[in-house]
Copies of this chain bind each other. A is one copy, B any other.
Amino acid sequence: MDIPHQCQFCNRQANSAFHDLSTEGLAEISQLKTCVSFRKGQVIMHEGARPQGVYCIHNGKVKLYTLGTEGKEQIIRFVTSGDLIGYRSILSEEPISASATALEDTHACYIPKSSFFKVIQDNPKFSLNLLKLSCHELGEAGKMITSLAQKNVKERLAEILLILNTTFGEDEDGYIDINLTREEIANMVGTATESVIRLISELRKEGYIRSKGKRIALEDRVSLRQMAAIYE
């Protein structure tokens, strides 16, 4: 996988917080960034650490999670092309609140802290984009809190499946294009692995989804949305 050395030629830019950075700003980042790769399963950032820079994901899929009691993972969200990792910690001047692990081979650009701050200072628009981004994520987190607190496991599972479908899209056979173990799904929904398994099979029997091994495809989005009580 080749990542352009010049950010201005990177097609991921359009989806990223960098999308309306000046040419000078992009050139500046280009000079200071480094390209890095992570293998499937490799830890990119460790909860509690103090990062010295941010990663901009070029391609690949990454999970962000905190470790709860007894070391159980709670997946907070996913990160993919164009997304940033580590900016929250750097900006709030706090240790990293969530670990990041690659779900598949991932390529990214590493931008050192100092350069990141320089770009923020020199580009009010970029700074505003980051602000917009973090505020958006804050809203998403609020929704997740309400779901966890008020919905039952089946409703939350339906919701997560819909979210996964929008985040990762579908492959040619209509399956959600992400490879997660049942345990990882459980760690998102906030339940036991066995419960997820039982409910997935229930949803299958009821005709809302179909599945083949790990792969899951949504069959009846409308009903799933209704079940998850998403009225948007």
User: Which residues of A come within 8 Å of B, CB atoms?
Assistant: 66, 68-69, 72, 74, 76, 87-89, 91-94, 97-98, 120-121, 124, 127-128, 130-132, 134-139, 141-151, 155, 189-190, 229
Contacts and interface: CB of A to CB of B under 8 A. Distances in A.
15 contacts: A68-B146, A68-B229, A69-B150, A69-B155, A76-B146, A88-B135, A92-B138, A93-B132, A120-B131, A121-B124, A124-B124, A137-B138, A138-B141, A145-B148, A148-B190
B135 A92 contact: yes
B132 A91 contact: yes
A54 to B, nearest CB: 12
B69 A149 contact: no
A142 B76 contact: yes
Contact of A72 (B66, B138, B150): B150
Contacts of A147: 68
A142 B190 contact: no
